[in-house]
Structure 1
Amino acid sequence: MTKKKLALFTALLSTLTLLGCNKQEAAKNVDSSQASLAKSEVVLKIGDQKGNMRAQLEASGALKGVDYKINWYEFPAAAPVAEALKVEGIDIGYLGDAPFLFANANGGTAKAIAVYKTDPYPTAILVPENSPIKSAKDLKGKSLTMNKGSISHLLTLKVLEQQGLKPEDVTFKFLPPADGKLAVENGSVDAWVVWDPYTAYAELKDHYRIVANGRGLYSGYIFLAGTQKALEDQQKRVAIQDFIYRLKASQIWTNEHAEEFGKEYAKIVGLPEDVGILAFKRRNSSWDPIDADVIKTSQETADFYTKYQLINKQFDVSNSFDQGFKVTK
């Protein structure tokens, strides 16, 4: 091979080698880009109760244009929501203030990030229409069913105290809502302590009577709470903040379209239309940020539980809140 041909061959070999390297580098860049894209796709695992948040968001169209994925998890009551938060099975969840504080006082580490303020009236003590219990005064010696540590448990203790009764004056049967109602219907329990939409259904369809309600006794607070892991993940935190904005927007829309939403809520959750309308219209609800008054009221709730030894020792609620989230832009 002449020197000229050798030079041309060497140059060609170098060019092919360089092209090969460039292709490998390009492939690496594509793989890296795809990995980065996959990493940026945020998935929020959200725990709901009876479709409350999801129904509002879907009916109002507030979820349009989200740039993250939502996986919904449906729960029948607050206790399993609190447990799911504790084991990080969900990122954020919807639950009443009493069960949230009860869970955190017993090892939970979730933080409340927004508060849904509602009329506490539908959290109530209910009895069948033919029950001899006519008012809260008649509860002495009776049995009541509820979720332990729930808003219904809190209400029961508040009502007993209001009537000058002690917890020992009644019998507590701790059961989830559906089992509690069944226990009342088969006669093994006298009264059912629960919240909407269970209350609305029992009133309208089963002709139960309310003998005590939560007004003046219970805050009406429901929290959106998140796990520490989710709140410390910056991408998820941005998505959670966006979700809260959308919750607030959906709540404003549903309040302005109460009748329309009540029907849609019933359809989404699988309730009769009149039950859905009643359960929603009497909420008088608003999503608000966590502030000093919310924390103060929550401390009073925790102290009340401590008084009745549901919480074993004094519990400082301050670490159970993250005030870094807004509800409006």
Structure 2
Amino acid sequence: MQACPLLSTLLLSAMLCLPAHAEDELIVADQKGQQKALMEAAGTDQNLPYHIRWVEFEAAAPLLQALGAGAVDTGIAGDGPFLFAWGAGLHIKAAWVIPPRGAGQATAIVVPEGSPISAPDQLSGKRIATGRGSIGHLLLLRLLATGAIPAPAPHIVFLLPAQAKAALDTKRVDAWSTWEPYVSLAVISGHGHAIADAAGLMPNNSFFVANTEALAQKKRLLADFYRRITAAYDWGTKHQVAYAHILARQTGLPDDVAIAVAQKLIAVPAPVTPDVIRAEDGVVEAYRSAGFIARTGDLSDAFEQNLTH
């Protein structure tokens, strides 16, 4: 049950046929409409001196492919998929960090309702779905490295979220290592159970990532957008329910799922600092030790530290 790259390839090909980026337009990649909903709820998308064109993605991997190809200017991704893509040679940099909230619970391994599996040490030899290079993949690598999942190693099945959910629902896989909002969808709507999360295992940062061309040509727009998204997140920390209602309306998520997502994800973004970069060393090493990336060099090259407000 291999993940078919056709959907991502077709989407990326279509995006590459878009007109050249206008200097007064910022093309922003989103996942499940969360950033767009947050800015609308906070009102920080008002009186823009440029136009934002939102492009929706199911997961970070195709989003980062589009960023690396120059089809979008910036977008949000977890540290795992971002560094996985950077390690593959994509011309992208993390420009703004969203620190973890919820003690790492936004990334978790879930099992379906009625599963006899109740702890990660019972995943040995099981079939686990996740996205290749995703934060779910990173969580599995960390659990394997720490011995929380003992030998024999599970069989990892690389799938996009919609495919992974279907595989879990039909019990073609035993578990799904995923992230929000899919964790809450599986647990709240699907009556599944989270048996492990990322608390204490990885930095759990997310980043707003930009391609190097946009950083060179649209730095002023990017700085303004990150300022506005920071204000939106700050608003969201104080108005989680209001944000959740707009998120549910825009994305079709059930209200209780949207509220759970807001509680786990709303933290205040900030510029990247040397401390943030140092914390990400372990992420790169986890992928490198598992043979998934070979890129070497200074990790600071993956980050933009000179983007001012």
TM-score of the alignment, normalized to the shorter chain, above 0.5: yes
Q: Pick which of 161-170 and 51-60 moved more.
A: 161-170
Distance 1:166 1:81, change over 3 A: farther
- Counterpart residue identity of residue 269, structure 2: W
Contact 1:141–1:171 (CA under 8 A) maintained in structure 2: yes
C-alpha displacement at 1:325, in angstroms? 1.9
Which of 106, 116, 137 does residue 88 from structure 2 map onto?
106
Which residue does the alignment assign to 2:272? 290
Contact 2:127–2:173 (CA under 8 A) maintained in structure 1: yes
3-state SS in 2 of match to 1:101: helix
For 1:221-240, list aligned pairs within 5 A: 221-233=205-217, 236-240=218-222
For 1:131-142, list aligned pairs within 5 A: 131-142=115-126
C-alpha displacement at 1:313, in angstroms? 5.1
C-alpha displacement at 1:259, in angstroms? 1.5
Which of 6, 12, 37 does residue 55 from structure 1 map onto?
37
Contact 2:30–2:76 (CA under 8 A) maintained in structure 1: yes
Distance 1:95 1:211 in 2: 24
Distance 1:231 1:43, change over 3 A: same
C-alpha displacement at 1:186, in angstroms? 1.8
Which residue does the alignment assign to 1:182? 166
Alignment root-mean-square deviation, CA? 1.7
C-alpha displacement at 1:160, in angstroms? 2.2
Distance 1:69 1:170 in 2: 46
Query: Is the counterpart of residue 162 in structure 1 residue 139 in structure 2?
Result: no
Which residue does the alignment assign to 1:246? 228
Q: Pick which of 143-152 and 278-287 moved more.
A: 278-287
Which residue does the alignment assign to 2:190? 206
C-alpha displacement at 1:89, in angstroms? 0.6
Identity between Structure 1 and Structure 2 (%): 34
Distance 1:185 1:67, change over 3 A: same
- Counterpart residue identity of residue 164, structure 2: G
Distance 2:139 2:252 in 1: 27
Deviations 1:113-137, CA, capped at 9 Å, x for gaps: 1011122212000001211111111
Which residue does the alignment assign to 1:195? 179
3-state SS in 2 of match to 1:282: helix
Contact 1:306–1:314 (CA under 8 A) maintained in structure 2: no
- Counterpart residue identity of residue 43, structure 1: E
Distance 1:192 1:227, change over 3 A: same
Q: Find the structure with the greater CA-based Rg.
A: 1
Counting matched residue pairs gives 287
Which residue does the alignment assign to 2:6? none
Deviations 1:55-101, CA, capped at 9 Å, x for gaps: 11011100111110111100010000110011101011111111111
Distance 2:148 2:203 in 1: 21
3-state SS in 1 of match to 2:280: helix
Which residue does the alignment assign to 1:24? none
Distance 1:252 1:286 in 2: 5
TM-score by length of 2: 0.89
C-alpha displacement at 1:218, in angstroms? 2.4
3-state SS in 1 of match to 2:269: strand
Q: Pick which of 247-256 and 297-306 moved more.
A: 297-306
Contact 1:113–1:226 (CA under 8 A) maintained in structure 2: yes
Contact 2:98–2:267 (CA under 8 A) maintained in structure 1: yes
Which residue does the alignment assign to 2:298? 316
Query: Is the counterpart of residue 269 in structure 1 residue 255 in structure 2?
Result: no
C-alpha displacement at 1:315, in angstroms? 5.0
Query: Is the counterpart of residue 281 in structure 1 residue 267 in structure 2?
Result: no
C-alpha displacement at 1:223, in angstroms? 0.9
Distance 1:197 1:190 in 2: 20
Q: Pick which of 161-170 and 81-90 moved more.
A: 161-170
- Counterpart residue identity of residue 156, structure 2: F
Query: Is the counterpart of residue 97 in structure 1 residue 65 in structure 2?
Result: no
Distance 1:133 1:162 in 2: 19
Deviations 1:232-291, CA, capped at 9 Å, x for gaps: 11xx21111110110111111111111221112111221111110111112251201100
Which residue does the alignment assign to 1:303? 285
Distance 1:87 1:166 in 2: 39
Contact 2:41–2:242 (CA under 8 A) maintained in structure 1: no
Higher share of residues assigned helix: 1
Distance 1:182 1:315, change over 3 A: farther
